[in-house]
Amino acid sequence: MLQVQYIRDHKEEVIGKMTKRNLEVSEQIEKVLQLDEERRATQTQLDNVLAESNKLSKEIGMLFKSGKAQEANEVKKKTAGLKEESKELSEKLNAASTELTELLYTLPNVPHDSVPEGDSDEDNEVIFEEGEVPVLDKKALPHWELAKKYDIIDFDLGAKITGAGFPVYKGKGARLQRALIAYFLDKNTDAGYREYQVPHLVNEASGIGTGSLPDKEGQMYHVGLDDLYLIPTAEVPVTNFFRDELLSEGDLPQLCTAYTPCFRREAGSYGAHVRGLNRLHQFDKVEIVRVEHPENSYKALEGMVEHVKNILRELKLPYRILRLCGGDLTFASALTYDFEVYSTAQERWLEISSVSNFETFQANRMKLRFKDKEGKKQLAHTLNGSALALPRVLAGILENYQTPEGIVIPEVLRPYTGFDIID
């Protein structure tokens, strides 16, 4: 959520930069400013009425104490009108505040200056590419065929017990999943991230904190009976550790990592590109989350990108990094780098990590602040990234490491898998 104060001070800038998202927000911005004006004016009026009424109440108290009951009752009569007035004003105040907040919830984050123009994923800017694309022979199979061939992932079984998009991993496939999770967590903790295990359901306040709610797209599964949401990513519970917290400057940065399953309804996204592991309702992911001093957050973002690069180098997977264009940028993000691994058999790039700086967008929603050296309270910056999302990494390994003898396990994973080939 953007800060009203910021909008007030940088109105033209906000409107201008939002055009990168192909949004024309000048009307909404005007409305925000108008509602804010109204809110503050009403607040002042209400404060005055309350001040008057507080004064009279004290008077009444003192009169009763000194036994002047009759005079006290006289004063009491004067409070009746004030009460009515304060009720009306506070209703008006509430209405303005609610409308303002709801409007602010609809405004996405302001894109960073480096975000390229563009409408869709086709306009994302490739900024880095590395790794050798293996030359596979004509018999090379896509991962869903390999999964079947070696009996390591069973999509039909998952569909039977739950539904489409909920695969069952079997035997060496399950073990490889576990190996990847352990390997990623080790890489992250070695880099200074603290490991957490977190609830997989969150309450509404947490969903709002990260910008996952209000959930217009119906992305999250909602457990109605208990009013809880299945997490779409560990970002939601982990970042909300810090909701309503006032940290001291020395507490920054906070580096967290957590493995969780992720649940996504993915309503409306069906088609050729969602075969196999390409898009699932439930998948595993190891996430990294950082809470940073605003002055350091972009340096931290670069650090996260380097960290993910290192992992992909170790896995020896061909990958590239994109800087997302304005049209493809997620709601809460100011700048996002996507990592894509090349799927040799499918001959397309698969997104395996998304690393973002949210600046104060989430922090403002969740009141995540720190006290700086001068003792002033500032919103912190939040960042997160996948390190990494499992299914497409798995797809990449299966496809890129396939040989006539079987699927060779990348060297760094062998200590975790305990085997070096799936055959």
> What is the bridge-based pairing of β-strands 254-263 and 282-292?
antiparallel
Q: Counting beta carbons within 10 angstroms of the beta carbon of residue 338, is it exposed (0 to 12), middle (13 to 18) or buried (19 or more)? A: buried
Nearer to RNA, 50 or 412 (CB): 50
Question: Minimum CB separation from RNA for residue 76, in Å?
Answer: 4
40 binds RNA (CB under 7 A): yes
Nearer to RNA, 65 or 139 (CB): 65
Question: Which residue has 């209405």 as its token pair?
Answer: 95
Nearer to RNA, 19 or 378 (CB): 378
Q: Strands, E, within 116-240: which ranges? A: 125-130, 153-154, 168-169, 194-196, 201-202, 222-223, 228-230
17 binds RNA (CB under 7 A): no
In order of 135, 167, 220, 324, the CA distances from 120 in angstroms are: 30, 29, 23, 9
Residues 6+ apart with CB under 8 A from 271: none
Question: Minimum CB separation from RNA for residue 86, in Å?
Answer: 8
Nearer to RNA, 48 or 114 (CB): 48
46 binds RNA (CB under 7 A): yes
Site map 347..386 versus RNA, x via CB under 7 A = ----------------------x-------x---------
What type of residue is 184?
A: F
What is the full DSSP assignment across 273-312?
GGTTTTS-SEEEEEEEEEEE-GGGHHHHHHHHHHHHHHHH
Question: Minimum CB separation from RNA for residue 105, in Å?
Answer: 18
Q: Which residues on adjacent β-strands are paired with residue 290?
A: 255, 383
Size of the site for RNA (CB under 7 A): 26
Question: Minimum CB separation from RNA for residue 281, in Å?
Answer: 25
Question: Minimum CB separation from RNA for residue 41, in Å?
Answer: 9
**In this structure, how many other beta carbons lie within 10 angstroms of the beta carbon of residue 422?**
24
171 binds RNA (CB under 7 A): no
- Sites for RNA among residues 75-94 (CB under 7 A): 76, 79-80, 83
Looking at 6, 11, 23, 50, which residue binds RNA (CB under 7 A)? 50
Whether the ω angle into residue 214 lies within 30 degrees of 0, i.e. cis, is yes
Contact criterion met (CB below 8 Å) for 186 and 193: no
62 binds RNA (CB under 7 A): yes
Question: Minimum CB separation from RNA for residue 362, in Å?
Answer: 17
**In this structure, how many other beta carbons lie within 10 angstroms of the beta carbon of residue 252?**
18
Contact criterion met (CB below 8 Å) for 15 and 8: no
- Sites for RNA among residues 238-267 (CB under 7 A): 246
Nearer to RNA, 77 or 138 (CB): 77
Looking at 22, 54, 66, 269, which residue binds RNA (CB under 7 A)? 54
273 binds RNA (CB under 7 A): no
Q: Which two tokens stand for residue 298?
A: 């972009």
205 binds RNA (CB under 7 A): no
Q: Which residues on adjacent β-strands are paired with residue 260?
A: 285
274 binds RNA (CB under 7 A): no
Question: Minimum CB separation from RNA for residue 90, in Å?
Answer: 9
Q: Using CB under 7 A, list all residues that contact RNA.
A: 40, 43-44, 46-48, 50-51, 53-58, 60-62, 64-65, 76, 79-80, 83, 246, 369, 377
